[in-house]
């Protein structure tokens, strides 16, 4: 393992949704001359701002949208708006983007805060896990996207019962990727080359990743996320989805993800407003539980309870010592 003195420090601010990660990171950037790299698989998508949490809620915030970046209250957040809803973007694509951005920011003498709730992205970026050794088949993926959830579940079960047992069976995107992997393995697909895998490994080994996790009582997280859902429902979420439909993205798998699939059902008169809002809240509660299940596998995370007084001071002091 690298000693801290041998490597540049990169701070990872992670945790489940509704723990205030971005708000905290913006404060940290002001204190320590930093910039943010977003590690969120939903926030890389253009035109999907309200339902992914890119658009701030509940406070007056100055936002300037730039190329691959938003400037929020004068602080750059990199990793927003990287692809359109119909473009493919993998965890490997994120890791490659983020590692290059870290290198650029360090040359500018910036403190770096990687912030997000997508544990898979974070673990690829830090080198805790490696990209799948199986490549892509966009034609296969396109055909799978038209299948209902139940058909995907059955197909993966038949391909590999062990993989099926361990996967999130309600996550259509992950089911599709798992089916793609198992199908291509059967065909002997070579996937990523050693050169690609070595590149990620060599880049991530240059840095000392300091994992700081925000968590709290489950009831508090649910309360915070419920308040967020109420806020975005009234601040343009439905209009955002209608705009995406008008742009031709109705059939994009991205609109079958968290929040957006229920809004589509509401727009299509398949569910009433009250039930739609409640369904989104329940879906996010479930998502919070899945996030924590993933993060608990990483024993390097120093957890801080956001329900405790002075929790921000603990983080400020910890980062100040490292810098």
The H or E element spanning position 229 is helix 218-234
Contacts of 319 (CB under 8 A, 6+ apart): 11, 28, 32, 111, 210, 212
Instruction: Decide if pLDDT at 95 tops 70.
Output: yes
pLDDT digit string, tens, across residues 10-55: 999 999 999 999 999 999 999 999 999 999 999 999 999 999 999 8
Q: Which residue has the tokens 């694509």?
A: 93
Instruction: Copy the structure tokens of residue 305.
Output: 């309870």
- Is 18 labelled as part of a ligand binding site? yes
Alpha-helical segments (H) within 39-128: 91-107, 119-126
Task: Write the CA distances from 122 to 117, 173, 235, 237, integer angstroms.
Answer: 8, 18, 30, 27
- Is 22 labelled as part of a ligand binding site? yes
- Is 79 labelled as part of a ligand binding site? no
- Is 15 labelled as part of a ligand binding site? yes
* Strand order, beta sheet including 111-116: 63-66, 69-72, 75-78, 34-38, 111-116, 8-14, 207-215, 302-305
Residues 12, 210 contacting (CB under 8 angstroms): yes
Question: What span, in angstroms and rounded, lies between the C-alpha atoms of 118 and 173?
Answer: 14
The two most distant CA atoms of the chain are separated, in Å, by 59
Instruction: Decide if pLDDT at 191 tops 60.
Output: no
Phi then psi dihedrals of residue 303, to 5 deg: -90, 140
Q: What percent of the chain has pLDDT over 70?
A: 91
pLDDT at 187: 54
Ranges 67-81, 113-127, 195-209, 277-291: which has the least confidence: 195-209
pLDDT digit string, tens, across residues 74-87: 999 999 999 999 88
Mean pLDDT of 307-321: 95
Within 13 Å of residue 295, how many CA atoms lie on the same side as its CB?
Answer: 23
Instruction: Copy the structure tokens of residue 190.
Output: 């070579």
- Is 293 labelled as part of a ligand binding site? no
- Is 183 labelled as part of a ligand binding site? no
Question: What span, in angstroms and rounded, lies between the C-alpha atoms of 51 and 78?
Answer: 18
């Amino acid at each position: 393992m690298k000693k801290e003195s041998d490597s540049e420090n990169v701070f990872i601010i992670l945790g489940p949704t509704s723990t205030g990660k971005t708000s905290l990171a913006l404060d940290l950037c002001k204190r320590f001359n930093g910039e943010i790299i977003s590690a969120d698989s939903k926030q890389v998508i253009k035109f999907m701002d309200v339902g992914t949490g890119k658009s701030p809620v509940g406070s007056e915030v100055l936002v300037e949208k730039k190329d691959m970046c938003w400037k929020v209250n004068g602080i750059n957040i990199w990793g927003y708006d990287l692809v359109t809803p119909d473009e493919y973007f993998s965890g490997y694509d994120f890791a490659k983007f983020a590692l290059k951005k870290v290198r650029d920011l360090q040359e500018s003498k910036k403190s770096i805060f990687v912030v997000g709730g997508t544990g898979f992205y974070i673990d690829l970026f830090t080198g805790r896990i490696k990209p799948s050794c199986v490549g892509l088949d966009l034609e296969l993926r396109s055909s799978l996207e038209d299948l209902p959830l139940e058909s995907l579940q059955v197909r993966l079960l038949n391909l590999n019962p062990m993989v099926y047992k361990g996967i999130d069976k309600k996550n259509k995107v992950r089911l599709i990727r798992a089916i793609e992997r198992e199908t291509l393995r059967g065909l002997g697909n070579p996937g990523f080359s050693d050169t690609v895998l070595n590149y990620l490994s060599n880049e991530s080994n240059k840095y000392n990743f300091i994992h700081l996790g925000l968590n709290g009582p489950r009831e508090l997280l649910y309360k915070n996320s419920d308040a967020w859902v109420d806020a975005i429902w009234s601040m343009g979420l439905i209009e955002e989805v209608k705009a995406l439909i008008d742009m031709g993205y109705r059939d994009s798998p991205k609109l079958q993800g968290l929040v957006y699939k229920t809004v589509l059902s509401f727009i299509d008169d398949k569910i009433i407003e009250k039930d739609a809002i409640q369904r989104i809240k329940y879906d996010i509660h479930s998502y919070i539980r899945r996030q924590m299940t993933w993060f608990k596998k990483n024993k390097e995370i120093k957890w801080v309870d956001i329900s405790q007084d002075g929790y921000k001071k603990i983080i400020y002091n910890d980062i100040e010592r490292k810098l």
